[in-house]
């Protein structure tokens, strides 16, 4: 977006001291967390006047958080369209499962709200493209929740690459490893289902939205990441953060091909999970660049990270909270320019909270005409396309090719 477009999208004039009015759609794990980050990172800037959730437990919890941290009592909704119909709401935070991002974002654009929508931008490449188009035809500000771009350590990594600290980069190794059981997640993405849940307090039809109709199913509702109707699994839940950050740090866009492989290997008797808990994806980009991705839910020794591997050095960002730089050793005889580069090691365990606070603040600054959003829908879509390609490659057991000119994929 151009600076003039950002400036044009300022909020309607308000009395001095008036706050931005916000609605939260989805107050589950992420919505509840982002509310806290909003209050802590942008104190006094926003009043959350509405919360919408289809599970009464989370709706009440979200309302409680607003009362406790914001000091006001928000209106509550089960139908997001009713929230969007309130003209006093300036911005919405869409924090629902992946398959709902498209209908909710499109409706919010139509309702003329500024939008912070969680990643992935959408559940399919085609839906994402429609959001990008609708956003381009609108003057609303949209920020996609790929908050690592707002993480000072990734910003430092980008700066170091641009300064030439690691030389030419043709290879990134990215990984995300987890293990289970944990108290809240006894098996991969099997989050604990609240004991009080039943059809009277959990609106199954609204959760399904555009997805295939099925009888009420608590596992699908609370553990939606395991099912293709609502999620692309690892590819669109985790990997999109890492393709996004490769794009950001190295100025990349989209790959030309992907080969993904994996399976449901971890733990327990076979169940109805569809998304793999083990996934490798290999990408080629047009400009001699390769991204090697690995994710496994049965061992978390190596955590989460990206390693930017240049001819002259390596930068790694680990667990969103550590950055390391190592110059290449060239068999003990490095060129003087490389030998002069000192290792860098920095750690700050608060960095992920900081990133989310900065990402939200960047969004709020943008709607006031003071900044440009760092993750507009075009950026969200470029991060998501490789994720969707990995899901398609995995599910079809074939290599997949992306044509950026036509916006279409084909299998080998």
Q: Are 276 and 233 in contact (CB under 8 A)?
A: yes
Stretch that binds ligand NAD, among 42-50, 64-72, 92-100, 260-268 (CB under 6 A): 92-100
Between β-strands 20-25 and 408-411, what pairing exists: parallel, antiparallel or unpaired?
unpaired
The closest residue (CB) to ligand NAD is 28
* Residue closer to ligand NAD, measured from CB, 80 or 325: 80
Q: How many CB atoms lie within 10 A of CB 373?
A: 23
Q: How far is the CB of 364 from ligand NAD (least distance, A)?
A: 17
Q: Which of 98, 333, 366, 118 is nearest to 228 (CA)?
A: 98
Return the bridge partners of 411, or none: 400
CA separation for the pair 336, 373 (Å, rounded): 40
Q: Residue 33 in 3-state DSSP?
A: helix
Please tell me whether residue 237 binds ligand NAD under the rule CB under 6 A.
Answer: yes
Residues in the interface with ligand NAD (CB under 6 A) total 26
Member of 95, 125, 131, 174 binding ligand NAD (CB under 6 A): 95
H helix and E strand count, the chain = 14, 16
Member of 74, 97, 305, 380 binding ligand NAD (CB under 6 A): 97
Please tell me whether residue 325 binds ligand NAD under the rule CB under 6 A.
Answer: no
* Residue closer to ligand NAD, measured from CB, 26 or 128: 26
Q: How far is the CB of 101 from ligand NAD (least distance, A)?
A: 6
Please tell me whether residue 145 binds ligand NAD under the rule CB under 6 A.
Answer: yes
Tell me which residues in 329-358 interact with ligand NAD (CB under 6 A): none
Stretch that binds ligand NAD, among 47-55, 172-180, 363-371, 401-409 (CB under 6 A): 47-55
Sign of CA dihedral 297, 301, 304, 310: negative
DSSP symbols for 90-134:
-EEEE-S-GGGHHHHHHHHHHTT-EEEEPSSS-SSHHHHHHHHHH
Please tell me whether residue 305 binds ligand NAD under the rule CB under 6 A.
Answer: no
Stretch that binds ligand NAD, among 22-30, 66-74, 150-158, 324-332 (CB under 6 A): 22-30
Member of 52, 172, 279, 291 binding ligand NAD (CB under 6 A): 52
Please tell me whether residue 384 binds ligand NAD under the rule CB under 6 A.
Answer: no
* Residue closer to ligand NAD, measured from CB, 184 or 397: 184
CA separation for the pair 42, 259 (Å, rounded): 42
* Residue closer to ligand NAD, measured from CB, 53 or 306: 53
Torsion angle (degrees, nearest 10) of CA 357, 360, 362, 367? -150
Tell me which residues in 187-206 interact with ligand NAD (CB under 6 A): 206
Q: Residue 220 in 3-state DSSP?
A: helix
CA separation for the pair 253, 244 (Å, rounded): 9
Q: Residue 171 in 3-state DSSP?
A: strand
Binding site for ligand NAD (CB under 6 A): 25-31, 52-55, 58, 80, 95-98, 100, 118-119, 145, 147, 206-207, 209, 237
């Amino acid at each position: 977006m151009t600076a003039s477009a950002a400036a044009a999208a300022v909020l309607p004039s308000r009395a001095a001291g008036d706050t931005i009015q916000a609605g939260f759609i989805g107050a589950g794990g992420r919505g509840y967390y982002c509310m806290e980050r909003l209050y802590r990172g942008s104190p006094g800037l926003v009043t959350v006047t509405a919360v919408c959730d289809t599970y009464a437990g989370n709706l009440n919890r979200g309302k409680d958080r607003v009362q406790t941290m914001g000091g006001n009592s928000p209106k509550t909704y089960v139908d997001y369209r009713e929230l969007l119909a309130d003209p006093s709401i300036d911005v919405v935070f869409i924090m629902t499962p992946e398959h709902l991002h498209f209908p909710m974002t499109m409706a919010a654009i139509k309702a003329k709200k500024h939008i912070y929508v969680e990643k992935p931008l959408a559940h399919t490449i085609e839906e994402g493209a429609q959001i990008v188009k609708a956003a381009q035809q609108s003057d609303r500000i949209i920020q996609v929740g790929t908050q690592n771009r707002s993480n000072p350590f990734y910003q430092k990594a980008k700066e170091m690459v641009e300064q030439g600290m690691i030389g030419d980069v043709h290879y990134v190794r990215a990984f995300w490893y987890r293990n289970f059981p944990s108290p809240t997640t006894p098996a991969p993405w099997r989050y604990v289902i609240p004991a009080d849940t039943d059809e009277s307090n959990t609106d199954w039809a609204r959760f399904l939205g555009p997805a295939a109709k099925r009888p009420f199913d608590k596992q699908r509702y609370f553990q939606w990441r395991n099912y293709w109707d609502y999620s692309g699994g690892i590819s669109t839940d985790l990997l999109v953060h890492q393709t996004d950050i490769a794009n950001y740090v190295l100025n990349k866009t989209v790959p030309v091909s992907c080969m993904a492989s994996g399976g449901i290997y971890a733990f327990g008797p076979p169940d109805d999970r569809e998304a793999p808990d083990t996934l490798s994806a290999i990408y080629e980009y047009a400009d001699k660049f390769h991204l090697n991705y690995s994710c496994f839910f049965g061992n978390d020794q190596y955590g989460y990270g990206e390693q930017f591997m240049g001819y002259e050095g390596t930068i790694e960002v680990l667990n969103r909270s550590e950055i390391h730089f190592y110059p290449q050793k060239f068999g003990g005889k490095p060129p003087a320019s490389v030998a002069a580069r000192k290792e860098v090691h920095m750690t700050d365990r608060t960095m992920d909270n900081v990133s989310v606070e900065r990402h939200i603040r960047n969004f709020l600054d943008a709607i006031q005409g003071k900044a440009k959003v760092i993750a507009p829908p075009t950026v969200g879509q470029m991060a998501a396309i490789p994720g969707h390609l990995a899901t398609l490659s995995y599910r079809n057991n074939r290599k997949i090719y992306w044509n950026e000119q036509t916006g279409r994929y084909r299998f080998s």
